[in-house]
Structure 1
Amino acid sequence: MKGYLHHLVYLVLSSFVIYNQRTEIFCLMSIFEASTLVLATGKINNKSPKQDLLYATTFVSTRLLFHAIMIYLYFNYHQSKSIWLILSFLYPFHCYWFYGFIRQKVYARNRQRKLSQYNKMFYSKKELEEALNSIQPKPIHYFLEKEDNDSEVEERRSNTLFTLIY
């Protein structure tokens, strides 16, 4: 589920919880947002593999493991089954989002390997090292800007191959 739809679902469920005066669930489940905090911090700073690992760890521990424990506890030890139903309804969303995160990381890793293999086929090791040492990393938006000067755009495209290796 993308964008507005998942926010709409959470709004409806939040309204249901408030209407039934079960607001303690908000306090208990606010731990889910720990992974969101890590994700936002990673977007502010330059993303690194360590940041992705921290995000994946907090996501699994809070939105998958803690969530599963809460489903179990509410089903077995709580008189209200409505909270259990809400938690059970939301759990597949978290599984789907984590699956998407893993797919994205696998795709990025495979793309990186292909670019690396491509460079090794057409350039010697010495040429690659010289090119990598001479080019400063640029932010991604630098390459996405549209330019009228075709030669400058062409130069950026040729340099992109080397900067993606980092």
Structure 2
Amino acid sequence: MHSLTLNTQHDIALVCFFQMYLVLDLSLGSRYYRHRITWVTGWLHHSLYIVLLTWFLKCRIPSFFVAASVLEIPTVILAIGAIRPTWRSDRLFAMSFFSLRLVLHTWMIRRLKHYHPIRSLWGIALAILPLHLYWFYGIVHLHAKKYNRQSKHAQLRNMALKLDGAEAVLSPDQELFMLVK
């Protein structure tokens, strides 16, 4: 917990760099990829992040952000997959999201509540957790839909293969009936 209360020049620089990244992401994103910048995941999320990081600088705890930035690994995995689709790994993204943004985040909340000198910090971490839970629900829901779609395609392929093998036995009328069915 002591290392999370440090105020080194390196930590300050990283927080300021990330704040500028957020500002640039919003400004360039609204110009070049407007369809990806939504009100909630873009403007609100980035603005709250900027305010939170400014508060970290005011409280002299930028090292907390540096330590907690490990929670952004799933975002990096997602970004790499967007830049190079062959490297996309939905499972790696989902597993890292679960282990970092749910499990580690929950563990951090407990540790912050009991051991960090700034008592309101655990409340902020707790307030962010429902957002991570909501996003994870979306990830699971998306994977379930993808699995069901793949499963239905596999069933249709199997039926087509069975029909191909039965072609010689079926009359033309029976084939038409099977295709319509």
Q: Could you say whether these structures have the same fold, taking a TM-score greater than 0.5 normalized by the shorter chain as the test?
A: yes
Gaps of 5+ in 1: 128-166
Give the Cα separation in 2 of the matches to 1:104 and 1:67.
Answer: 22
Question: How far has the Cα of 1:120 moved from its partner?
Answer: 4.4
Q: Which residue of 2 aligns with 1:154?
A: none
Note the aligned Cα RMSD (angstroms): 2.3
For residues 1-166 of structure 1, the aligned pairs below 5 Å read 1-43=40-82, 44-46=84-86, 51-121=89-159, 123-125=160-162
Runs of 4+ in 1 over 4 A off after TM superposition: none
TM-score (norm 2): 0.60
How many correspondences in the alignment?
125
Q: CA deviation at 1:81?
A: 1.1
How many Å separate the matches in 1 of 2:100 and 2:134? 15
> Which structure has more RCO (C-alpha within 8 Å, separation ≥ 6)?
2
Question: Whole-Å Cα distance in 2 between the matches of residues 16 and 96 of structure 1?
Answer: 25
Percent identity reads: 35
The whole-number CA distance in structure 2 between the counterparts of 1:4 and 1:47 is 28
User: Which TM-score applies when normalising by structure 1?
Assistant: 0.65
SS at match of 1:9: helix
Offset from partner CA, 1:46-93 (integer Å, 9 cap, x none): 266xx2222122112211111111111110112211211111111111
Look up the equivalent residue of 1:29 and give its one-letter code.
A
Larger radius of gyration, structure 1 or 2?
Answer: 2
SS at match of 2:151: helix
Match of 2:67, SS state, is helix
Greater Cα shift, 12-21 or 58-67: 12-21
Partner Cα distance (2:135, 2:86) in 1: 22
1:15-52 CA-partner distances (Å, limit 9, x unpaired): 2222222212111101111111222222323266xx22
